[in-house]
Amino acid sequence: MSESRPFVSLATDFGAAYTAICAGVVYTIAPSANVLVLSDEITPFDVREGAMLLRQALPYLPVGVHVGIVDPGVGTSRRPVAIATGRGDVLVGPDNGLLVPAAEMLGGIVGAHALENPAYRLPGVSTSFHGRDVFSPAAAHVAAGVDVADLGAAVDPLPLNVPAAVAEDDELTVPVLYTDRFGSQVLGAERGDLAAAFGALEPGTPLDVEWNGADGASRTVRVPFQLTFGSVAVGEPLLWIDSSGWLGLGVNQGRAADVLGLAGARSLTLRAVPQS
């Protein structure tokens, strides 16, 4: 990084104390770095949620080195990796798809290297805290000027395993990306997917939403497509396009995951309401 005070961000599922340790490692190796904890509250082990957070947030952060750690495979043969992007950022974390959606938003992947060089790790590497021992040191060294290619061999990062939205006439099946802190479901579909299934949706248009709950039973609720939460009464559900361009399913001043019984749902099917 050419900045006189390089920028490093951290996003983890660790909680505050372990993330602070990672920040301390970065400061020790690159004391001039400006280190931001983007989040230490990603749902533990939820790679998909972490990937969507990074995708949403990193375009609004300065060019820098961004560490993402949601790593249920820590200590196994999964690779630690650094990904260079077209915008000039370097993303550091496990090679489990976590970093790829954000890299695509930052100008695409222009190179990726495994974190293999022991010179850019801590002297002792644990089997359970690669955030401290592998990812944070690598990020700090890159922030201090080390070339990404010096970290290890070139690799092809693994993609994030998320099903695509499937649009048919008057029907759209979408994956649940994650549940946000307000209990809304963030869904893997964008405005174009809605248009492909339903045409131009006017605010107030009702859609039937169907899913299978944790018990395997099918559930259906009728929900209007709206522009904002205030368009429905308190406690009522809505579908809307969120600030990242994703389709969302929420409840005005309530938790859709609880109010609608969405626990365990991995995908939803939206259907046009038949005209009477």
- Could you state, in order of their start, the residue ranges of all structural domains in the chain? 7-151, 166-272
- Minimum mean pLDDT range among 16-30, 77-91, 167-181, 202-216: 202-216
Q: Do the beta carbons of residue 129 and residue 121 sit within 8 Å? A: no
CA 147 to chain centre: 26
- Minimum mean pLDDT range among 41-55, 188-202, 262-276: 262-276
Exposed/middle/buried for residue 267 (C-beta within 10 Å: 0-12, 13-18, 19+): middle
Q: What is the pLDDT of residue 1?
A: 45
Residue 227 has pLDDT above 90, yes or no: yes
Segment 232-237 long-range contacts (CB within 8 Å, at least 24 positions apart): 235/259
Write down the CATH number for the domain with range 166-272: 2.40.30.90
Residue 175 has pLDDT above 50, yes or no: yes
Residue 214 has pLDDT above 90, yes or no: no
Fill in the amino acid letter for 229: F
Cα separation, 252 vs 230, whole angstroms = 7
Q: What is the pLDDT of residue 35?
A: 98
Query: In percent, how much of the chain has pLDDT > 90?
Result: 92
State the pLDDT confidence band at 273, using cuts at 50, 70 and 90: very high
7-151 placed in CATH 3.40.50.10790: yes
Cα separation, 119 vs 181, whole angstroms = 39
Q: What is the pLDDT of residue 248?
A: 97
Closest listed residue to residue 28, CA positions, set 143, 107, 109, 115: 143
State the pLDDT confidence band at 2, using cuts at 50, 70 and 90: very low
The average confidence (pLDDT) of the chain is 95
Residue 153 has pLDDT above 50, yes or no: yes
Token pair, residue 115, equals: 């974190």
Q: What is the pLDDT of residue 4?
A: 75
- The pLDDT tens digits for 73-89 are 999 999 999 999 999 99
Which residue shows structure tokens 């040191």? 137
Residue 3 has pLDDT above 70, yes or no: no
Q: What is the pLDDT of residue 216?
A: 77
Q: What is the pLDDT of residue 198?
A: 96
Residues comprising the chain, all counted: 276
Which residue shows structure tokens 């899913």? 211
What is the mean predicted confidence (pLDDT) over 102-123? 98
The DSSP secondary structure of the chain, one letter per residue, reads: ---SS-EEEEEESS-HHHHHHHHHHHHHH-TT-EEEEEES-SPTT-HHHHHHHHHHHGGGSPSSEEEEE--TTTTSSPPEEEEEETTS-EEEEESSSSSHHHHHHTT-EEEEEE---GGGS-SS--SS-HIIIIIHHHHHHHHTT--GGGGS-B--PPPP--PPPEEETTEEEEEEEEE-TTSPEEEEEEHHHHHHHHSSPPTT-EEEEEEE-TTS-EEEEEEEB-SSGGGS-TT-EEEEE-TTSEEEEEETTB-HHHHTT-TT--EEEEEEPPP-
What is the mean predicted confidence (pLDDT) over 95-114? 98
Query: In percent, how much of the chain has pLDDT > 70?
Result: 99
